[in-house]
Structure 1
Amino acid sequence: MTRPPFDEVTERDLAIVSAQLGRPARNVVGIAARCVCGAPTVVATSPRLADGTPFPTFYYLSHPGATAAMSFLEAAQLMVECTELLASDDDVRAAYEQAHREYLADRARFGAVPEVDGISAGGMPTRVKCLHALAAQSLAAGPGLNPIGDLALERSSWSPDVCRCPDYGVDAE
């Protein structure tokens, strides 16, 4: 299982994540999922940034291909379909609520932040707001925890099993 505790974050990981995001990586506490080539795909971020800002998005999708694929699905209105699914399917709704609780528990291992207490990501537990965050949790936890994140990944043109990483310009360790 790749959920906390995570492998130690290397300088190379941080350099790749910074290249992926186009800005310096902030407060990464773990690499929660990786491409088959080893490059980070999902980072776990401290629930409180170094400057004191609360940061509820514990699982953060960093891979540019995955991010683009989730953006495409959002533009194609998959979130509307998923919200309707939550309203009509008791099993999906219950699993989504459990994914919310697991997200909170994973983040809590890295500190309590009262300002975001009970707030997870992606609209959980009652709506679908951000496929990026939901797919990130699915990639971190593996299939079967977050039904909406799993659905987004299934519908996606991107796969964690096929490396399409660009050259990040980072030397191997």
Structure 2
Amino acid sequence: MSISATDLATITTQLGREPRGVIEVSYRTPDGAPAVIKTTPRLPDGTPFPTLYYLTDPRLTAEASRQESAGVMKEMTARLSTDSDLAAAYRRAHESYLAERDAIESLGTDFTGGGMPDRVKCLHVLIAHSLAKGPGVNPLGDEAVALAAVGHLRGTAIPSDWPRLADGDDT
């Protein structure tokens, strides 16, 4: 796995700082921009960094922040306590994330990110995970991506074929 100097320069511009511990670009937007990077479980200075997938595209980070401000995390967390199928699928996403990170380097913890598996703490992590892995791995990340696709991000920052919201409200 490697990353080009051009991608590193783009990601540096996106983040406004030098990225640390980058392994690869795990997702590119339909318009070609790096949008999710995979990072090492430890930063170059040895600091543990459990966030395997990191959102870099400014359009997507702004949308994740907008959703967080709108209370999406609270609503998703509430659903985890009442929907056992959703909770089980979210736990599987957590286990998959942990196994993938541990295959690179174990941090000796079962903390993954985004609040998995018991709550929703960070939509940036969940969106990054879903975009990197594709639909069907992280149900709440998939839902947040579908919410982000509503409007102008579908086909630019999000694939045009990303599954739509269950209620069909994706204009």
> What TM-score, normalized by structure 2, do the two folds share?
0.86
What runs of 5+ residues in structure 1 fail to find an aligned partner? 1-6, 165-173
- How far is 1:160 from its partner? 5.9
- What's the CA shift string for 1:78-137, capped at 9, x where partnerless? 0111011111111110000000011111112221222xx111000000000000000110
Higher relative contact order (CA 8 A, sep 6+): 1
Cross-structure match for 1:132: 124
Quote how far apart the aligned CAs of 1:163 are.
4.9
CA contact (8 A) 1:35 1:160 kept: no
Q: Which runs of 5+ in 2 are unaligned?
A: 159-171
Pair 1:39–1:12, CA change in 2 (3 A): same
Q: Distance in 2 between matches of 1:155 and 1:97?
A: 21
Which structure 2 residues correspond to residues 79-98 of structure 1 after superposition, within 5 A? Answer: 79-98=73-92
**Of 84-93 and 153-162, the range deviating more from structure 2:** 153-162
Residues of 1 paired with 2:154 and 2:102: CA distance? Answer: 26
CA–CA distance in structure 2, aligned partners of residues 9 and 138 of structure 1? 20
> How large is the RMSD of aligned CA atoms in angstroms?
1.5
Q: Indicate the residue corresponding to 1:56 in structure 2.
A: 50
Percent sequence identity over aligned pairs: 46
Q: Which of the numbers 129, 143, 146 marks the counterpart of 2:135? A: 143
Aligned to 1:105: 99
| Letter of the structure 2 residue corresponding to residue 124 of structure 1 | M
Q: Which residue of 2 aligns with 1:15?
A: 9
1:39 is matched with: 33
Contact (CA 8 Å) 1:153, 1:159: kept in 2 or not?
no
Q: TM-score, normalised by structure 1?
A: 0.85
State yes or no: 1:71 paired with 2:65. Answer: yes
Distance across 2 between alignment mates of 1:109 and 1:39: 27
Matches within 5 A, 1:151-166: 151-156=143-148, 157=150, 159=153, 161-163=155-157
CA drift at 1:38: 2.3
Tell me the number of residue pairs that the alignment of Structure 1 and Structure 2 aligns: 156
Secondary structure at the residue paired with 2:104? coil
The structure 1 segments of at least 4 consecutive aligned residues displaced by more than 4 Å after TM superposition are none
Deviation at 1:54, TM superposition (A): 0.2
Q: CA separation in 1, counterparts of 2:105 and 2:65?
A: 30
